[in-house]
């Protein structure tokens, strides 16, 4: 028994070609999605690495400054260090604390208490005169690219940053 053919052979051939093209498109889409997923995963790991390196390099600079000051002042023992980290630096206080503890081992600052105060961001909008906080979520991209800040009231990007960019050694308590 012969199969029933709907339409002409040309129409059937077109349907077959269209089906093959659809299958190819679906395969291409699946492959593209797979590549996109792999690229995103790679970027996330790269940004995590950048973030860790960002926190480590800042911690190294802080430790170097603390130890240089101690050497300059001929200090025997550093008892505590008070730091201020602005929200817009996107530094993780726990990471900074960890790296400082590691970097200050076998130095006059070994065992020093490290106090970190977080300074929240404060902006002033030049358009509507709003002054206050801006809410940010912690995103790995912000460790590479600074976010575009907007006024919460009028959505303007014409802002003056009043606070939140600090990375300060506020006080070093020592024993001479």
Global model pTM greater than 0.85: no
Least trusted range by pLDDT, from 29-38, 52-61, 88-97, 150-159: 29-38
First to last CA, the chain: 105
Least trusted range by pLDDT, from 39-43, 74-78, 92-96: 39-43
pLDDT at 36: 47
Query: What pLDDT band is residue 6 in, cutting at 50, 70 and 90?
Result: very low
List of domains in the chain: 11-175 (3.30.2320.80)
Helix (H, G, I), strand (E, B) or coil at 102: helix
Query: What pLDDT band is residue 140 in, cutting at 50, 70 and 90?
Result: low
**64-75 mean pLDDT:** 92
Spatial contact of 92 and 52, defined as CB atoms under 8 Å apart? no
Asked whether residue 161 carries a pLDDT value surpassing 70, the answer given is: yes
């Amino acid at each position: 028994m012969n199969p029933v053919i709907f339409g002409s052979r040309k129409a059937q051939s077109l349907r077959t070609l269209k089906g093959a093209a659809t299958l190819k498109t679906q395969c291409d889409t699946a492959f593209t999605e797979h590549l996109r997923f792999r690229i995103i995963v790679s970027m996330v790991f790269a940004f995590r690495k950048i973030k860790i390196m960002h926190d480590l390099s800042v911690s190294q600079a802080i430790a170097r400054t603390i130890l240089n000051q101690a050497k300059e002042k001929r200090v025997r023992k550093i008892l505590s260090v008070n730091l201020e980290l602005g929200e817009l630096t996107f530094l993780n206080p726990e990471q900074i604390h960890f790296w400082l503890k590691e970097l200050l081992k076998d130095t006059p600052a070994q065992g020093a208490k490290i106090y970190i105060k977080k300074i929240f961001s404060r902006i002033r909008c030049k358009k509507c005169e709003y002054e206050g906080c801006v809410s940010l979520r912690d995103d790995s991209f912000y460790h590479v690219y600074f976010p575009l800040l907007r006024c919460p009231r009028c959505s303007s990007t014409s802002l003056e940053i009043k606070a939140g960019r600090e990375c300060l050694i506020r006080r070093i308590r020592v024993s001479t």
